[in-house]
Amino acid sequence: MITAEPRVFKTHEKKRHGKGFSRGELKKAGTNMTEALKLRIPLDPRRRTAHEENIEAVKALVTQKKAERKPKKLKPKKEAEPKPKRPKKAEKKSKK
């Protein structure tokens, strides 16, 4: 399984692990929140910053996950068997 940990920059160039990528980072990487959720990319909607390091990580992660995703297998359609014809009902006898 492919994972990427977002980095959050603190004062004096210190880095720590973040809870997820920000919306701005996803937008600059060319994806959106719904696609990121489908690909199980961690998101942190509270973050507002967009760091270049994280944008590159999101781009790489999205391309790897899309390549890893298996196409859905479609079941072949069953050919419909011809239905047997019903015999026509006898004409109703008219009452005299």
Sign of CA dihedral 62, 63, 66, 67: negative
> Please, which residues bridge with residue 17 across strands?
7
Q: How far is CA 21 from CA 1, 92, 94, in A?
A: 18, 77, 82
User: What would the DSSP string read from start to end of 39-64?
Assistant: TT--B-TT-----HHHHHHHHHHHHH
List, for residues 7-29, the tens digit of each pLDDT value.
777 777 777 777 888 899 999 99
- 31-62, pLDDT tens digit by residue? 988 998 888 888 888 888 888 888 999 999 98
Gap between the Cα atoms of 83 and 47, Å rounded = 62
- The answer, as to whether pTM is greater than 0.75, is no
